[in-house]
Structure 1
């Protein structure tokens, strides 16, 4: 893996931390299904680069980045590593109900000294977070994600979700329930996929 493979410039220290994270992910994946075993051969492109592309949306945001259904730390841990390397004033709150996966997330955060808090709870039982940014990857349809985001997002915050080839259909389905502002961006890892950025979420 070379830094040039990432969708943005990162320091050697950041790349080194990403490599340690990948090493831990591979090790733990033997016992815990953090990512599908069929994706391990292409782990960097399928998971690391796919998560890292969301860092293009850091902008000047500060405060709390809430990552829902963090699983193996995608995109939460990847973004925390990149944000730390850029000296950003961002704290990452990772929510993962599976206790074993939550333990993995804490172990990585501790080893890499990341600005990360892990909550091993179901999203539905999480107190409102007033987060500046919310992310989720391969968690739920947009209509469900809008429900989570409406509860946990600050009034001037935004949510960002990588989505597959059915992104447009998910947006249409969500609009039957929710009113929101949406921007879409082409995925850097899949020509058929998109990244959806959502703001101003309100019930219809």
Structure 2
């Protein structure tokens, strides 16, 4: 995939960012057969599905953000993709990738080292990780919104935002989560799936 095909908020990513994204995809394809980072079918759609979907979240990155926590990072979607974007868009932002699977955590550390990213890995369960005090918390394909808010609440700083890509059941998940949580939510259309939304949650508190 060429740099011209990766777009964030209507603008093409830089050549340097595109080169890092391609290197990252090569690493995923190298490691995935051994530790199942993504399914074999998804390897054919790595750039158009996983990378493009993750890139959408970079619009919520800016130079005022010191800490971004990505929960259940798995193969690095969106955590590694966001850290790649952060090198140019917000070099001050430190990305914390929480992943309890030791093999996947090893892959994430390799990607961070080879791509020279401003990021670190926490290879433990999310609920056991010391509060990260993050201005942004992300998670992709990890859990229902209700459970995500529970996991995120200990790591979100006052005034911070949760940024979650969600599928076509997003409205039902929001309704269910309101049984346990008070929050404001904005829904943004997904550029990769007309039925999906990006949920931006703020002012989170228990009911």
Do the two structures share a fold, i.e. TM-score over 0.5? Answer: yes
Single out whichever of 78-87 and 53-62 deviates more from structure 2. Answer: 53-62
- Whether the aligned pair in 1 keeps the contact of 2:166 and 2:196 (CA below 8 Å) is yes
Of 60, 64, 69, the match for 1:61: 64
- In structure 1, what is the equivalent of residue 160 of structure 2? 157
- In structure 2, what is the equivalent of residue 4 of structure 1? 4
Number of aligned positions between the proteins: 204
> Structure 1: 5+ residue runs without aligned partners?
none
1:29-59 deviation per Cα after TM superposition (whole angstroms, max 9, x unaligned): 0101101111111111110000001011214
- Whether the aligned pair in 1 keeps the contact of 2:63 and 2:93 (CA below 8 Å) is no
Instruction: Kindly state the Cα deviation for residue 151 of structure 1 after the two structures are TM-superposed.
Output: 1.2
- In structure 1, what is the equivalent of residue 75 of structure 2? 72
TM-score, normalised to structure 1, is 0.97
Distance 2:113 2:61 in 1: 23
Single out whichever of 42-51 and 5-14 deviates more from structure 2. Answer: 5-14
Of 22, 25, 29, the match for 1:22: 25
Alignment of 1:39-54 (within 5 A): 39-54=42-57
Instruction: Kindly state the Cα deviation for residue 3 of structure 1 after the two structures are TM-superposed.
Output: 2.0
Query: Match of 1:143, SS?
Result: helix
Matched, 1:109 2:124: no
Instruction: Kindly state the Cα deviation for residue 132 of structure 1 after the two structures are TM-superposed.
Output: 0.8
1:92-146 deviation per Cα after TM superposition (whole angstroms, max 9, x unaligned): 0000000000000000100111001101000111111111100000000000111
Query: Match of 1:158, SS?
Result: strand
Instruction: Kindly state the Cα deviation for residue 191 of structure 1 after the two structures are TM-superposed.
Output: 0.6
Query: What is the aligned-residue RMSD (CA, Å)?
Result: 1.0
